Every structure is written in structure tokens, then in C-alpha cells.
Amino acid sequence: MNQKRFSANALREGRIARGYNKTELASIVEVSRQSINLYEIGETEPRPDTLEKISRALQLPPTYFYRNPIDNFSLESPVFFRRLKRATELAYEKANIKAKWHYSGYLELTKYLKRIEPNIQKFCLAPDFDFEKLNQDAIEDYARQLRSFWGLRHGPIIGLTPLLEKNGVLVFQIDIQTDMNGFSFYANGGIPFIVSGKNVTAGRNRFNLAHEIAHLVLHSTTDKNELTPELFELIEDQANRFAGAFLFPKERFLDEFFTTDLNYLVDLKVKWGMSVTAIVRRAVNLGMLTADEESRFYQRHRGIKSREPKDAEIQIEHPTFPKNGLQAILDANLITIDDVKFELPYSNNDLSEIFCFERNVFNTQRIATLSLVEFKESA
């Protein structure tokens, strides 16, 4: 009889995903830090009563600790975290692990559903492309070309997240610290990933997605180890410029922006899916406002950078593939909720986040139904 062994890697990932260092977890489960370290390097296994405490502390079922995490999650490009200076190393690791958990959910769905082949790497840059030599006009042009490549005209993008998914970009939303906003990378054979934070406004979410598209298009071959602080700032500025150009093309912006009246800017916000602050910054980038005029705008509207009109009224976009995919295979009785929880032994909250479903869906067993009722033939 093969007895399942405790997975040291699963414990390490679970601890980091919950944001604990070894000392903090040791204090919660009433063991020494050295004990936690020995568990995580596979030198020893926790006793049953200690494992129960760890399970409660990390809000993960005991079965989770007897499954080895997926080991085929290989990064093939730099991972660009926004607000790099403020985020901690533990926060980086936490975000990466949560992305890995989301990818395991994607793999479960694609046992039954077709994968959408990504096409973003077929988007051609100039043969002599060098991001350090990009000027603002070139960034505007690449944003315009990508819109054309994906069949968009010059109008607002209705449903940016579905657009990305349609073109093979995996979009995950996870609960990460707000200073990070999001990140992107290529992995596992050139699959493009974008991970964004959950707790942001609709406008911020769309700008984050467009910002990460810029990294996937313009910066995927960059050697992150050679990035100086100045080059990192340049890359972030380029991604911001690209995001504004992708969401609100220059031709339309020059035609539609003519005042800093707040009510009018809010109307543009609703139409184009961009925050007021992003619209104002775009006006500065395109030379339609001076830096002094931008400063005076914020003096007139103090607090708008943290809270804008209609933030609560505009619905945030969520990934559609995880929820629609899971619903489809559940409806086809190919799997049950219990099967999902067996294959992906995370907490109900984790599964809710992975599949963009309401939490209560994973709290109860869904019963498969068969049609056992037949009507009599008429005489």
C-alpha cells in the first residue's frame, strides 16, 4: 500500500500564500521556528495535532498538505511588478504562488475544454527594436498597431478582459497588496499571463491590464537582472504611455478632450473606461495640458486621486473563462464540486477567487441530475 507523504513544498507555498513568515506561523501553531523550517525542507513531518493547527492557521484542508504543487510552472520572461520599491519579497512570492494556484485551476478546466492559443507573440515589433530607444510617437504607434491586430477600431474597448482572453492571454484576479497593482509574464511554452489585484476600481483595473499588455509586447525580452532603477522607471513610464494610448487612441482623444470640467471628464471616464486621473495624465502626455494646469486641476479637486465620482457605480471586469468554463463542465455533469475540491484542495475562498464564483458554491455539494421522467405516448 502506497502511503501519501507530507509535502514540504505545499506547506511552504501555503504559508507564503497566507502572508506568514516562519516565525509568525510557528507562534500561531505553538512550535519553534526551527520546526517549521524542518517541515519545509522535508527533514521531518509535523505530528497529526500540529498539522491540524497548521491546517486551521493557513485555512487549507489537511489533504492539501499531501499534494505536491505543480512543478511545470516555468517563467520564460521577466516578471514586472508595479510599485516595485514598496512591495516586500514575501509579497512577491505570495503573488507568484497565488498565480500558480490560479494556473492549476486553468489546467483543471482544460482537461475538458479547448485551450485558446495565444497570438500576442505573433504581433511583430520592428527588427531593430530596442525599448531604450523608444520615443513617445513609437509607443503610440505600437498601441495603435496592436488594436488593429486584435480587430479593434478607434472606439472604446467594451470588455477589455474578454478581449484578452479571446486572444489567449490568461487573466487572473488575486487579492494582492494594493501597492503592487499587478504583474505579467510568459510561462509554460509562451502562454501570456496577466495577474491583477481584485480590490481596485473598474478604471484602475482596466489601466492595470493595459499596462501589463505593454510589458508583454514591449519588454518581454528584457533582462531584468540588468535593469537599473532608471531603466525600471523608463519601462514603467513606457507601459503607462502605452496603456493610455491603447485605451483611448490619440486620434479620438484630440477630438474629444477640450475641457477639464469634472462632469465632462466623468462622462469620458464612463465612455472610455479610464479613470479621470488617467485621462488628465493622457492630456498632459499629448500636450493638451501643461504640468501647471494639471496641478491646478488637482488643487481644485482635492482627494480625487484616491476617490473619483462614479467609482462605485462602474462595474469591474472579471475574468470570464474560469467561471464560464467551470459552469459548462458542471452543467454537462463531467465533474462535480466535490471533484473540483478533490483535484484542487484549496480553501473555499481560494476556489471562489480562482473560478470567480460566489463562495457559497463551494460550501455545498452539487448533485448531478439525470432525467428519469418520461411522458406516456398519446393514445
The model's pLDDT over 294-311, given as tens digits with 9 standing for 90+, comes to 999 999 999 999 999 999
Whether 83 maps to a domain, the answer reads: no
Q: Does 285 lie in the same domain as 140?
A: yes
- Alpha-carbon distance of 242 to 27, in angstroms, equals 46
Q: What residues form DSSP beta bridges with 75?
A: 187
- The grid coordinates listed for 193 are 499571463
Nearest to 161, CA basis, from 88, 247, 237: 247
- How high is the mean pLDDT of the chain? 89
Q: Does 347 lie in the same domain as 199?
A: no
Nearest to 104, CA basis, from 193, 213, 229, 208: 193
Q: Does 164 lie in the same domain as 100?
A: yes
Model confidence at 214: pLDDT above 90 = yes
- Alpha-carbon distance of 72 to 187, in angstroms, equals 9
- Alpha-carbon distance of 91 to 121, in angstroms, equals 29
Nearest to 93, CA basis, from 28, 36, 18: 18
CATH number for the domain that contains residue 12: 1.10.260.40
Range of the domain at 345: 321-362
Q: Does 140 lie in the same domain as 188?
A: yes
Whether 308 maps to a domain, the answer reads: no
Q: Does 172 lie in the same domain as 40?
A: no
Out of 300, 329, 345, pick the residue that ends a domain: 300
Whether 2 maps to a domain, the answer reads: no
Burial of 23 (0-12, 13-18, 19+ CB in 10 A): exposed
C-beta separation of 184 from 76 below 8 A: no
pLDDT value of residue 81 = 63
More confident residue, 98 or 76: 98
What is the rounded average pLDDT of the residues 20-28? 96
What is the rounded average pLDDT of the residues 195-211? 92
Q: Does 285 lie in the same domain as 212?
A: yes
Whether 131 maps to a domain, the answer reads: yes
Count of residues in the chain: 379
Model confidence at 371: pLDDT above 80 = no
Q: Residue 330, Cα to own-chain centre: how many angstroms?
A: 24
- Residue 232, φ and ψ in degrees, nearest 5: -65, -40
Q: Exposed e or buried b for every residue in 303-323, given b needs 16+ CB within 10 A?
A: ebeeebeebeebebbebebbb
pLDDT value of residue 126 = 81
The three state secondary structure string of the chain is CCCCCCCHHHHHHHHHHCCCCHHHHHHHHCCCHHHHHHHHCCCCCCCHHHHHHHHHHHCCCHHHHHCCCCCCCCECCCCCCCCCCCCCHHHHHHHHHHHHHHHHHHHHHCCCCCCCCCCHHHCCCCCCCCHHHCCHHHHHHHHHHHHHHCCCCCCCCCCHHHHHHHCCCEEEEECCCCCCCEEEEEECCCEEEEEEECCCCHHHHHHHHHHHHHHHHHCCCCCHHHCCHHHHHHHHHHHHHHHHHHHCCHHHHHHHCCCCCHHHHHHHHHHHCCCHHHHHHHHHHCCCCCHHHHHHHHHHCCCCCCCCCCCCCCCCCCCCHHHHHHHHHHHCCCCCHHHHHHHCCCCHHHHHHHHCCCHHHHCCCCCCCCCCCCCCCCC
Q: Does 288 lie in the same domain as 222?
A: yes
Task: Name the domain count of the chain.
Answer: 3
Q: Does 118 lie in the same domain as 225?
A: yes
Return the minimum-mean-pLDDT range out of 71-80, 92-101, 108-117, 195-204.
71-80
The model's pLDDT over 220-269, given as tens digits with 9 standing for 90+, comes to 888 777 778 899 899 999 999 999 999 999 999 999 999 999 999 999 99
Our CA dihedral for 120, 325, 177, 95, rounded to 10 degrees, sits at -70
Q: Does 151 lie in the same domain as 272?
A: yes
Q: Does 349 lie in the same domain as 289?
A: no
pLDDT band (50, 70, 90) for residue 367:
very low
pLDDT value of residue 183 = 87
Q: Does 192 lie in the same domain as 160?
A: yes
Q: What's this model's pTM, rounded to 2 decimal places?
A: 0.89
CATH number for the domain that contains residue 241: 1.10.10.2910
Q: Does 291 lie in the same domain as 256?
A: yes
The model's pLDDT over 128-177, given as tens digits with 9 standing for 90+, comes to 899 999 999 999 999 999 999 999 999 999 999 999 999 999 999 988 66
What is the rounded average pLDDT of the residues 305-323? 92
Whether 3 maps to a domain, the answer reads: no
What is the rounded average pLDDT of the residues 20-39? 96
Model confidence at 87: pLDDT above 60 = no
pLDDT value of residue 255 = 97
pLDDT value of residue 364 = 62
Whether 310 maps to a domain, the answer reads: no
| Percentage of residues of the chain with pLDDT beyond 90 | 70
Model confidence at 376: pLDDT above 80 = no
